[in-house]
């Protein structure tokens, strides 16, 4: 049974937290120990039940024979290729290290083949990345979705010296991902954890619609007072909704704009990627008639859409807040009417609707009232479905 895995990174994500959480959710610890041993990376691993702020979690420990050995990407990929891993785990682990190598190469402005892996190339991080990829495979995870990431704040000590949090490689890996900083001034999301989600997560957002099968908690090193320092994974079977994601709603009250310009602005917002745009009449201060312009947008489009509203309208201020958008799974089919072919949108719960543009086109071509074309399309679909 293929499962969806949701990574709830409210306390960030590191490689050891991820492996611990997946083991806590049911990945066989013995299989993980065996897979890591086959790498011959100088690392042995174990698992321990611990608590973080009262929450029971699994701590993934990695003991290494050496901590200062530097490796190139080619050396690590060779180790993975020769290890006793499934084809999927081998493929995913190699992809994660390539992504990580590309980030390090860009940060340090050196060719990929000359990147020296320090913290991320040491035996413990090899064990983290490979362990995570093996655990996903053991649990038959088909899709990975990650929450917005708590990256932490402050500084981190590395072999390159003191660096700001998020570390440069982490920030590069998380480009276009939703991030924030909350809690103690420490590094919460590591380059290793960032590399895994940047490579394997299909998208970032809210918990997708699913029937929960199991959960797991992976413990971080510290036990904070502010919150439980754990990564939670939620595994489940996908359900009927095709889309469930966090969105931003951008609103503006406007009372001094030509309605033609307002309609044009709404068209431009849709063309620029807004998921939906509405204009509602309202009464504003001093009894002035006005309009509420509202746009639903993806988080990554928020700033560009907001700037476009400023450019195309007369508003001097916007309201922006977060919401969740959920869309029912749908399919499309076609029906034949006496006026021509009409596409029908069919929802997973049985609802249906003729495609408006098809009906409009046929109404104009035939000279028949639009309502009659829609009615015949509905009847054709119902007759075919009986």
**pLDDT tens readout for residues 253-291:** 999 999 999 999 999 999 999 999 999 999 998 889 999
- In a 3-state reduction of DSSP, which class is residue 30? helix
> The CATH number of the domain where 360 resides is what?
3.10.20.300
Q: Which one of 211, 239, 267 terminates a domain?
A: 239
User: What distance in Å separates the CA atoms of residue 127 and residue 16, rounded to the nearest whole number?
Assistant: 9
Q: Are residues 7 and 156 in the same domain?
A: yes
Q: Give the model confidence (pLDDT) of 94-121 as tens digits.
A: 999 999 999 988 988 888 877 766 554 5
Q: Are residues 207 and 263 in the same domain?
A: no
Total domains in the chain come to: 3
> What pLDDT, on a 0 to 100 scale, did the predictor assign at position 121?
53
Q: What is the mean pLDDT of the chain?
A: 91
Q: Are residues 285 and 372 in the same domain?
A: no
Q: Give the model confidence (pLDDT) of 308-340 as tens digits.
A: 999 999 999 999 998 888 777 778 999 999 999
Q: Are residues 274 and 306 in the same domain?
A: yes
Q: Are residues 254 and 300 in the same domain?
A: yes
Q: Which one of 328, 352, 368 terminates a domain?
A: 328
Give the DSSP letter of residue 13.
-
User: What distance in Å separates the CA atoms of residue 287 and residue 252, rounded to the nearest whole number?
Assistant: 17
Please determine, for residue 178, whether its predicted confidence score (pLDDT) is greater than 60.
Answer: yes
Domain that holds residue 261: 244-328
Instruction: Please list the alpha-helical segments (H only) found in 167-256.
Output: 168-173, 191-200
User: What distance in Å separates the CA atoms of residue 255 and residue 260, rounded to the nearest whole number?
Assistant: 13
> What pLDDT, on a 0 to 100 scale, did the predictor assign at position 107?
86
- In a 3-state reduction of DSSP, which class is residue 132? helix
Q: Which one of 239, 259, 276 terminates a domain?
A: 239
Q: Are residues 224 and 340 in the same domain?
A: no
Q: Are residues 231 and 374 in the same domain?
A: no
Q: Which residues contact 284 (CB under 8 A, 6 or more apart)?
A: 253, 255, 290
């Amino acid at each position: 049974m293929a499962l969806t895995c949701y990574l709830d990174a409210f306390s960030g994500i590191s490689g050891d937290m991820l492996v611990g959480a997946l083991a806590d959710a049911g990945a066989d610890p013995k299989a993980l120990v065996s897979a890591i041993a086959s790498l011959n990376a100088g690392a042995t691993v174990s698992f321990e039940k611990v608590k973080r702020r009262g929450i029971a979690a699994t701590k993934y420990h990695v003991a290494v024979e050496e901590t200062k050995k530097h490796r190139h990407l080619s050396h690590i990929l060779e180790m993975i290729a020769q290890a006793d891993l499934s084809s999927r785990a081998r493929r995913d682990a190699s992809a994660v290290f390539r992504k990580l190598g590309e980030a390090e190469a860009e940060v340090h402005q050196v060719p990929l083949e000359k990147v020296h892996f320090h913290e991320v190339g040491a035996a413990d991080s090899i064990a983290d990345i490979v362990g995570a990829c093996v655990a996903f495979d053991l649990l038959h995870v088909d899709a990975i979705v990650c929450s917005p990431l708590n990256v932490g704040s402050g500084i981190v000590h590395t072999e390159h010296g003191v660096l700001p949090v998020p570390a440069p490689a982490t920030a590069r890996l998380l480009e276009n991902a939703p991030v924030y900083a909350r809690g103690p001034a420490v590094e919460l999301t590591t380059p290793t954890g960032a590399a895994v989600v940047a490579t394997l997560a299909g998208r970032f957002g809210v918990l997708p619609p699913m029937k929960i099968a199991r959960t797991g908690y992976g413990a971080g090193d510290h036990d904070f007072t502010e919150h439980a320092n754990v990564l939670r994974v939620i595994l489940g079977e996908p359900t009927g909704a095709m889309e469930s994601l966090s969105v931003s709603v951008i609103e503006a009250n406007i009372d001094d704009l030509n309605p033609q310009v307002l309609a044009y602005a709404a068209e431009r917002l849709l063309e620029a990627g807004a998921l939906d745009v509405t204009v509602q009449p309202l009464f504003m201060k001093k009894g002035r008639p006005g309009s509420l312009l509202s746009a639903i947008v993806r988080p990554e489009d928020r700033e560009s859409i907001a700037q476009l509203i400023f450019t195309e309208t007369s508003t001097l201020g916007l309201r922006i807040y977060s919401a969740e958008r959920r869309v029912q799974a749908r399919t499309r089919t076609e029906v034949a009417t006496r006026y021509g072919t009409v596409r029908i949108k069919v929802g997973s719960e049985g609802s249906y609707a003729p495609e408006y543009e098809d009906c409009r086109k046929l109404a104009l071509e035939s000279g028949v009232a639009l309502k009659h074309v829609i009615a015949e399309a509905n009847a054709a679909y119902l007759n075919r479905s009986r």
